[in-house]
Amino acid sequence: MSRIPRIVILGAGYGGIVTAIRLQKELNYNEADVTLVNKHDYHYITTHLHMPAAGTDNPENARVNILKLIDEFKIDFVKSTVIQIRPQEKKVILEEGTLSYDYLVVGLGGEPETFGIPGLKEHALSIRSINSVRFIREHIEYQFARYKREPNRTDYLTFIVGGAGFTGIEFVGELADRIPQLCKEFDVDPSLVKIYNIEAAPTALPGFDPELVEYAMNVLQNKGVTFKIATAIKECTPEGVSLATGEEIKAATVVWTGGVRGNHMLDEAGFETMRGRIKVDEKLRAPGHDNIYVLGDCSIVMNPEGRPYPPTAQISMQQAEVCAHNLVASIRGEQLKNFVYQSKGTVASLGRGEAIGIVGSRKIKGGWAAVMKKVIDVRYLYIIGGIPLVLKKGRF
């Protein structure tokens, strides 16, 4: 084959953009044609989305123009939506046209997992993209405006967050910070506003350090969040939610943060999946497809105990480094690397000036953890866009 190999990267999230940036550094001139496809012309920083969703930050701060991150002389960028992957034909069908590939990188991210709970897809909102968080932010403000016209409707001022995993916890922290501002703006008595964080498991943040979970819950309760733990949401309706306990809560806003699954297109393409995610081999390839790499929320990597690592930005970025290396090695006929995840820890924000985390073997909480969270955010901006992006988007 004398033709230049074609690499197509689907999705410019954490996995996709870091793969593209690494490839543009590592590939020599004319060694491969690289095309990056994304449905928007910007990369969004998913790990910041709880802030613009609650309205404590501007959505602009959570997105970056893709052409500012890649070198157009080395990577072709196609703004389009992928609608189908055809592994047998080595083709990807986009809304506008078709792309053929020799190597494919799937980094299309996850989708909300609703576990078939009736009404969630139709009536709940989810924190997934710039468009979805702009909607949530506007929706929340609108409920305050509506309440002023119909003061008997306190359900307009009731906010339900379904799932107290990290996304739910980070979002209620921001929402609780936003409420006093909205109450002032709309002349609403703050005691009428209710924020419920409802969690099916016996604890918030299941699996996380119990002492830090208790700290987080205390901080959030002091800000006005009511937790309902060991209480599953059974149904969502336009009026609110029904709980497994039989209780019903009327609310005009339900934000579902109950988990993520992989992209539906992977099932449709005929890959073997678990909740829409492909269990990749040690080189990060889809089993049986040596030319298809799968990253981030679309992939499953097992830990040494045989359980899947949680889908995070951290693992997506580490996968992207190995994926880029393996693509270059394949093209050059060199040895591929195995992927070994090295967790650097977890830090979660609880709103302004408060966070919890485990870094290495150290537990951190409060203001110090909040500073650590900022350091992690800034580090990511530096990795993808260097000092200019840190200065432009870093929130100090």
Q: Does 330 bind ligand NAD (CB under 6 A)?
A: no
Q: CA dihedral defined by 77, 83, 87, 91, rounded to 10 degrees? A: -50
| Of 57, 117, 68, nearest in space to 258 by CA | 117
* b/e code 250-273 from CB counts within 10 Å (16+ = b): ebbbbbbbbbbbbbebbbebebeb
Site residues for ligand NAD, 51-80, by CB under 6 A, read none
Residue 219 binding target from ligand NAD, ligand FAD, none, CB below 5 to 8 Å by type? none
Least distance to ligand NAD, CB of residue 292, Å: 23
Residue 19 binding target from ligand NAD, ligand FAD, none, CB below 5 to 8 Å by type? none
Instruction: Report the alpha-carbon distance of residue 183 to residue 10 in Å, rounded.
Output: 42
Catalytic residue annotation: 170
3-state secondary structure of 300: strand
Given the rule CB under 6 A, which residues bind ligand FAD? 11-16, 37-40, 46-47, 49-50, 81-82, 107-109, 127, 167, 170, 295-298, 311-314, 316
Q: Among 118, 180, 190, 206, which residue sits at the site for ligand NAD (rule: CB under 6 A)?
A: 206
* b/e code 362-384 from CB counts within 10 Å (16+ = b): eebbeeebbebbeebbbebbeeb
Least distance to ligand NAD, CB of residue 248, Å: 14
| Of 11, 127, 128, nearest in space to 66 by CA | 11
Residue 328 binding target from ligand NAD, ligand FAD, none, CB below 5 to 8 Å by type? none
CB-side neighbour CA atoms (13 Å) of 200 = 16
Q: Does 270 bind ligand NAD (CB under 6 A)?
A: no
Angle subtended by helix axes 313-332 and 14-26, to nearest 10: 30
Residue 117 binding target from ligand NAD, ligand FAD, none, CB below 5 to 8 Å by type? ligand NAD
- Residue 153, class by beta-carbon neighbours within 10 Å (0-12 exposed, 13-18 middle, 19+ buried)? middle
DSSP secondary-structure letter at 394?
-
Nearer to ligand NAD, 103 or 171 (CB): 171
Nearer to ligand FAD, 156 or 256 (CB): 256
Nearer to ligand NAD, 5 or 310 (CB): 310
Nearer to ligand NAD, 37 or 195 (CB): 195
Tokens describing residue 187: 């002349």
Ranked by CB distance to ligand NAD, the top (closest) residue is: 165
Nearer to ligand NAD, 104 or 217 (CB): 217
Nearer to ligand FAD, 49 or 99 (CB): 49
Instruction: Report the alpha-carbon distance of residue 42 to residue 65 in Å, rounded.
Output: 4
DSSP secondary-structure letter at 229?
-
Q: Is the separation of the CB atoms in 285 and 272 below 8 Å?
A: no
Residue 201 binding target from ligand NAD, ligand FAD, none, CB below 5 to 8 Å by type? ligand NAD
Tokens describing residue 322: 């190995």
Q: Among 36, 105, 179, 200, which residue sits at the site for ligand NAD (rule: CB under 6 A)?
A: 200
Site residues for ligand NAD, 21-50, by CB under 6 A, read none
Instruction: Report the alpha-carbon distance of residue 63 to residue 68 in Å, rounded.
Output: 11
Instruction: Report the alpha-carbon distance of residue 239 to residue 391 in Å, rounded.
Output: 44
Q: Among 11, 15, 52, 163, which residue sits at the site for ligand NAD (rule: CB under 6 A)?
A: 163
Residue 40 binding target from ligand FAD, ligand NAD, none, CB below 5 to 8 Å by type? ligand FAD
Q: Does 331 bind ligand NAD (CB under 6 A)?
A: no
The residues, any chain, with a CB within 8 Å of residue 289's CB and separated by 6 or more, are 87, 271
Nearer to ligand NAD, 11 or 162 (CB): 162
By DSSP bridging, strand 33-38 and strand 278-279 are unpaired
Instruction: Report the alpha-carbon distance of residue 164 to residue 174 in Å, rounded.
Output: 14
Site residues for ligand NAD, 246-265, by CB under 6 A, read 257-260
Least distance to ligand FAD, CB of residue 172, Å: 11
Contacts to ligand NAD by CB under 6 A: 115, 117, 162-168, 170, 198-201, 206, 232-233, 257-260, 310-312, 346, 348
